[in-house]
Chains A and B, each alone.
Chain A
Amino acid sequence: MSVITEVAPQHWQSACSALLDQKMRFLGLYASHAEGALALRAMFHEQAEPVALVPGERRDGDGERCRVRPFAEVLCEPDSGYRPGCSSSPFRVLTCSSAEGSFGSIVHRVPAAVWDEREAHDLYGVELKGHEPMRALVAHPAALNDWTVPVTGQGTNQVVVGPIHAGVIESGHFRFHAVGERILNLDLRLFYKHRGLERAAQGASLERAIKIIQRACATDAVSNSLAYAQACEELLGLWPTKALALQRTLLVELERLYSHLNDIGAICAGIGFAPGAMAFSSMKERALRVNHALSGHRYLFDTIAVGHATRLASEKAEAAAEELEALRSDAMRAWREVLFNASVQNRLKGTGTLPRKIAQRLGAVGPAARGSGLKLDARTFSARLCYEGFVPLLPEDPTGDVASRMAARAAELPATFDMLKELLEHVAHPPALLAGTEETAPCSPIGVGVVEGPRGQSVCAVESDGETIERVHLRSGSYANWPSLAYCTAGNLLGDFPLINKSFELCYACVDR
């Protein structure tokens, strides 16, 4: 269970700084109501090794393909069962409550918290001293000065895109300041489809709330709901059996597979390279059909439950493994076609560059972070899943541009295929219940779950008495990456923005929640 530390409002900033000084990594921040007062919670986790790669450093495990411990070996071990104590949890939660709802901002120490603080301000009315100017994020004020960065100068003009687009695209409003074709600054306005899911889950049972959390977004359904389930299990003091961990690992990797295939295809579509787009979208469709055969749902809905497994069609596992084997060779061939097409690479190289330092500062996660050379992957500390020995896979040349974000996904595909092939051999095991305690008394008031989804880590925090939800907070990989996207758009051409956008392929829905 995670270590929860209560601090006084005047020590909030120094306590956060102290954790960061201990090489803790910021996971997210949210506001909550606690006994008539407003509370802020910040989540951190211990990182085992520095995430930034020294230029020229040889990566360990180069040349290997599958880096995780063999699953057969994992299954042979006896279940360790309930793990009491907090020594095994890598998470730290700082909480702080104040009757006036006034706190010091930590955004200068943790720039990655900028959206979190703006959201806490807009939704909970938290006052964050030192966060200047506090621009609106969830709220949509009419005055431009209230939410955009002012840009002045000769020949600057504004180009406004959305929230209604010419294609089938979610609602998002982009306001570019540009000189001719060159973008100076991008202001984002999302939250058009804010459904208040977190609020809707309050008061619901732990079992029911997973439905609400899962519906934040379809393409991250598994990673979001698994982060939630893990948070609940941590709160309840449960630990998954090996068989359950294997099944969940399988589901996360299935989600990653179709998502990466889709994202590579989307980048091809963004530059009008139709053969690549067609090949990868047809492969995505095949992956979705595998999902459907195994779980009964193309986007793997309702496959994660709190405290127990769901049934997977184990009789289809063999056929699925065969299909994935065929898919693998097709995907690798299509990837080579994309890689060796000069006109494609010409468009991708040097477009939308996110430097490593900025990625680290803004808290980029997932393929976006790895494309910028950050050795960052929540799978390295996912003790509740089967990723023992996992090493983050980085592209050959992590320069942080569109090409390397695309290569980061392609680099993960072989490992995902390897893992899926092996995992499917074990899906035949009967659905397993959680090993653990009989008692359902909560071990801790706040549980945290982190899962590496296709777009980066999904972080979920659950506050509960063990029966009903008091507060749940979901911070998906997309949420973490939007500020990085806005940053690396500046300096590029207007016509390249759709491409840069697609190289992140961020989800609007799980940000809007």
Chain B
Amino acid sequence: MSSQDLRALVGLAIALVGGAILSPLLPGLIQTLKARLQGRVGPSIFQPYRELRRLWGKSVVSPQSTTILYRLAPSVSAAALLCAVAVVPVMAGEGSFPLGHDALVLLGLLALSRFALAVASWDTGSGFSLMSASRDLTFSVFVEALILIDITLAALPVHSTDLSAMVAGTAGISGWGGPVRWCALGAFFLVVVAETGRQPVDNPDTHLELTMIHEGPLLEYAGRDLAMLQWSSAARHWVILALAAEIFLPHAAGPLESLVCLVIWLVVLCAGLALAETWQAKMRLLMVPRLLVVGSVLAVTGVVTFYMGARL
């Protein structure tokens, strides 16, 4: 086994451990920090694990009218997220493994998870699930465009949509003198907020059916299915935040150094989300696309600047 393969294996192992096992710590950390900021004691950062254990031990209850689409959705969503976790590289200089690190594959996997849940909401026929799924899909038009342009911005300098190439290409602090990286970073902050379902886009704490976005399709699920969906949501936090830390935020080039950077940035990003969620109220629903368009404009500005920079 070559050292390249070994590195790939280690990288994959770290990604799986981080994404699959440690990812519930991220929403846990956000909840704890939020509680402290609001003057409450709040739950410990391990609370999501307790939730998962509790739900995992419960049997699944499905509405009578549902079909296989509804029952498959949690597995499909969780499987898509597990693959996504493997696709996101966690270390700089990591070799590639058979699944590859293609950014478009990652986008496809995230979309697959969303699609599975939307189909399941349609299957239940529950008004609130459908309403939330419809909102989610409407916003996803804007979010996916935004991610795509933003990823393009990171891909342009390295001439590749391979994420590990992007990680290597964006390492160091050399690129931060120009406006391109800043545009990419600004745009990706909006991706983080929208994809993790945090305020001002969505309120993860709400129990008001009429205002739900990401919570809505989960309304009918129970037991093990719900555990899978909650894990998927935590894994989504990992994927998006790791992407932000590895590509869009400044990071080191060496494998170990980049790991340290990743951990630091994850904590900082969680704190940032907790802070934003504390001081921002939830946005008016129809204002969200506008916010996301602002992000897209920022990313497009970055692309234009990149080409102008290349010509000059």
Residues of A near any B CB (own CB < 8 A):
159-161, 165-167, 181, 268, 270-275, 278-279, 282, 341, 343-344, 346-347, 493-498
Taking residues whose C-beta sits less than 8 angstroms from the other chain, chain B's interface range is 20 to 34
Nearest to B199 among chain A residues (CB) is A272
Q: Specify which chain A residues have a CB less than 8 angstroms from the CB of B207 in the assembled complex.
A: 166-167
- A147, B296: Cα distance in complex, Å: 47
- A273, B203: Cα distance in complex, Å: 10
Say yes or no for B200: interface residue by CB 8 A criterion.
yes
- A161, B17: Cα distance in complex, Å: 42
Contact B208 A343 (CB under 8 A): no
- A91, B208: Cα distance in complex, Å: 42
* Chain B stretch 256-286: residues in CB contact (< 8 A) with chain A: 277-286
Contact A347 B279 (CB under 8 A): no
A347 in contact with B210 given A272-B199, A275-B38 (CB within 8 Å) = no
Q: Specify which chain A residues have a CB less than 8 angstroms from the CB of B205 in the assembled complex.
A: 272, 274
Q: Specify which chain A residues have a CB less than 8 angstroms from the CB of B34 in the assembled complex.
A: 274
Q: Write the B281-304 contact mask toward A (1 if CB under 8 angstroms, else 0).
A: 111111000000000000000000
Q: Specify which chain A residues have a CB less than 8 angstroms from the CB of B39 in the assembled complex.
A: 275, 278-279, 282
Contact B131 A347 (CB under 8 A): no
Q: How many whole Å from B205's CB to the nearest CB in chain A?
A: 7
Q: Specify which chain A residues have a CB less than 8 angstroms from the CB of B131 in the assembled complex.
A: 159, 494
- A493, B286: Cα distance in complex, Å: 9
Nearest to A162 among chain B residues (CB) is B209
- A384, B253: Cα distance in complex, Å: 80
Q: Which of B209, B277, B281 contacts A344 (CB 8 A)?
A: B281
Say yes or no for B50: interface residue by CB 8 A criterion.
no
Q: Write the B210-248 contact mask toward A (1 if CB under 8 angstroms, else 0).
A: 110000000100000000000000000000000000000
- A272, B207: Cα distance in complex, Å: 11
Q: How many whole Å from A369's CB to the nearest CB in chain B?
A: 26
Q: How many whole Å from B186's CB to the nearest CB in chain A?
A: 19
Q: Which of A161, A272, A279 contacts B282 (CB 8 A)?
A: A272
Q: Specify which chain A residues have a CB less than 8 angstroms from the CB of B279 in the assembled complex.
A: 275, 341, 343
A161 in contact with B210 given A271-B281, A272-B281, A343-B281 (CB within 8 Å) = yes
Say yes or no for B254: interface residue by CB 8 A criterion.
no
* Chain B stretch 30-44: residues in CB contact (< 8 A) with chain A: 34, 37-40
Say yes or no for B127: interface residue by CB 8 A criterion.
yes
**Shortest beta-carbon contacts, A-B, top 10:** A272-B282, A272-B203, A167-B207, A273-B281, A271-B281, A498-B208, A343-B281, A495-B285, A166-B207, A278-B38
A274 in contact with B127 given A279-B39, A495-B285, A496-B284 (CB within 8 Å) = no
Say yes or no for B4: interface residue by CB 8 A criterion.
no
**25 A–B pairs (Cβ distance < 8 Å), ordered by A:** A160-B127, A161-B210, A167-B208, A268-B281, A272-B199, A273-B280, A273-B281, A273-B282, A274-B38, A274-B277, A274-B278, A275-B39, A275-B279, A278-B40, A282-B39, A343-B283, A346-B281, A493-B285, A494-B131, A494-B210, A495-B210, A495-B211, A496-B284, A496-B285, A498-B211
Say yes or no for B66: interface residue by CB 8 A criterion.
no
- A67, B285: Cα distance in complex, Å: 42
Q: Specify which chain A residues have a CB less than 8 angstroms from the CB of B67 in the assembled complex.
A: none
Q: Which of A268, A275, A495 contacts B37 (CB 8 A)?
A: A275
Q: Most A CB atoms within 10 A — which of B34, B219, B281?
A: B281
- A274, B285: Cα distance in complex, Å: 18
Q: Which of A165, A268, A282, A347 contacts B209 (CB 8 A)?
A: A165
Contact A159 B127 (CB under 8 A): yes
Q: Specify which chain A residues have a CB less than 8 angstroms from the CB of B37 in the assembled complex.
A: 275
- A273, B199: Cα distance in complex, Å: 9
Nearest to A158 among chain B residues (CB) is B127
A493 in contact with B281 given A274-B38, A279-B39 (CB within 8 Å) = no
Q: Which of B38, B210, B277, B281 contacts A498 (CB 8 A)?
A: B210
Q: Specify which chain A residues have a CB less than 8 angstroms from the CB of B219 in the assembled complex.
A: 166
- A341, B200: Cα distance in complex, Å: 13
Contact B208 A341 (CB under 8 A): no
Q: Chain B at the A interface: mostly helix, strand, loop or mixed? A: loop
Nearest to A182 among chain B residues (CB) is B286
- A161, B210: Cα distance in complex, Å: 8
Knowing that A159-B210, A279-B39, A343-B200 touch, tell me 19 more A-B residue pairs with CB under 8 angstroms.
A161-B209, A161-B210, A166-B208, A167-B208, A272-B205, A272-B206, A272-B277, A272-B281, A273-B280, A273-B281, A274-B205, A274-B278, A275-B37, A341-B281, A346-B281, A347-B283, A493-B286, A498-B210, A498-B211
A181 in contact with B285 given A272-B199, A274-B278, A275-B278 (CB within 8 Å) = yes
A181 in contact with B286 given A279-B39, A494-B131, A497-B210 (CB within 8 Å) = yes
Q: Which of B209, B211, B280 contacts A343 (CB 8 A)?
A: B280
* Chain B stretch 106-142: residues in CB contact (< 8 A) with chain A: 127, 131
Q: How many whole Å from A123's CB to the nearest CB in chain B?
A: 31
Q: How many whole Å from A189's CB to the nearest CB in chain B?
A: 16
Q: How many whole Å from A311's CB to the nearest CB in chain B?
A: 36
- A190, B199: Cα distance in complex, Å: 33
Q: Specify which chain B residues have a CB less than 8 angstroms from the CB of A278 in the assembled complex.
A: 38-40
Q: Which of B40, B281, B286 contacts A347 (CB 8 A)?
A: B281
- A353, B285: Cα distance in complex, Å: 18
Q: How many whole Å from B63's CB to the nearest CB in chain A?
A: 15
- A272, B278: Cα distance in complex, Å: 9
- A495, B283: Cα distance in complex, Å: 10
Nearest to A174 among chain B residues (CB) is B210
Q: Write the B151-178 contact mask toward A (1 if CB under 8 angstroms, else 0).
A: 0000000000000000000000000000
Q: How many whole Å from B80's CB to the nearest CB in chain A?
A: 27
Nearest to A180 among chain B residues (CB) is B134
- A271, B131: Cα distance in complex, Å: 18
Contact B284 A493 (CB under 8 A): yes
Q: Specify which chain A residues have a CB less than 8 angstroms from the CB of B285 in the assembled complex.
A: 181, 493, 495-496
Contact B282 A271 (CB under 8 A): yes
Q: How many whole Å from B273's CB to the nearest CB in chain A?
A: 13
Nearest to A502 among chain B residues (CB) is B208
Q: How many whole Å from B174's CB to the nearest CB in chain A?
A: 37
- A343, B283: Cα distance in complex, Å: 7
Q: Specify which chain A residues have a CB less than 8 angstroms from the CB of B127 in the assembled complex.
A: 159-160
Q: Which of A160, A165, A275, A347 contacts B284 (CB 8 A)?
A: A347
- A181, B34: Cα distance in complex, Å: 30
- A482, B130: Cα distance in complex, Å: 28
Q: Specify which chain A residues have a CB less than 8 angstroms from the CB of B199 in the assembled complex.
A: 272
Q: Specify which chain B residues have a CB less than 8 angstroms from the CB of A272 in the assembled complex.
A: 199, 203, 205-206, 277, 281-282
Nearest to A157 among chain B residues (CB) is B127
Contact A347 B282 (CB under 8 A): yes
Q: Specify which chain B residues have a CB less than 8 angstroms from the CB of A279 in the assembled complex.
A: 39
Q: Specify which chain A residues have a CB less than 8 angstroms from the CB of B203 in the assembled complex.
A: 272
Q: Most B CB atoms within 10 A — which of A282, A341, A346, A495?
A: A495
Q: How many whole Å from B193's CB to the nearest CB in chain A?
A: 13
Q: Most A CB atoms within 10 A — which of B205, B208, B283?
A: B208
Q: How many whole Å from A178's CB to the nearest CB in chain B?
A: 9
Q: How many whole Å from A158's CB to the nearest CB in chain B?
A: 8
Contact B278 A270 (CB under 8 A): no
Contact A270 B208 (CB under 8 A): yes
Q: Specify which chain A residues have a CB less than 8 angstroms from the CB of B284 in the assembled complex.
A: 346-347, 493, 495-496
